[in-house]
Amino acid sequence: MKKHIAALAFALTITAPTWAAVKTVTLSVPSMHCAMCPVTVKNALSKVSGVDKVEVSLEKKEAVVTFDDAKASVDALTKATKDAGYPSSVEQ
């Protein structure tokens, strides 16, 4: 019986490895100026580990990123856009 409980606990551990929250953050990316910029920004953000969804708007000059709090951080996101040539900051 104990073995079964252990197996169940293990199964739960692998199906739900973390209790991390999924967060959504809006980044202001003021240096986007043409239709190609959002593509570059989106690619850069998508490559960050833990990022689930990226929506970039050239019109609003912002990127809305949904990510796993345990794997990615806002710092990692802003660094990714900066490394791609587009410094960003969190919109309040």
Footprint of Cu ion on this chain (CB under 5 A)?
A: 34, 36-37
CB-wise, 41 or 72, nearer to Cu ion? Answer: 41
What are the Cα distances from residue 77, in Å, to 15, 26, 30, 70, 83?
26, 10, 15, 13, 10
CB-wise, 37 or 77, nearer to Cu ion? Answer: 37
Give min distance, CB of 39 to Cu ion, in A.
8
Give min distance, CB of 40 to Cu ion, in A.
7
CA distance 18 to 43: 26
Residue 88, CB half-sphere, CA atoms under 13 Å: how many? 35
CB-wise, 5 or 34, nearer to Cu ion? Answer: 34
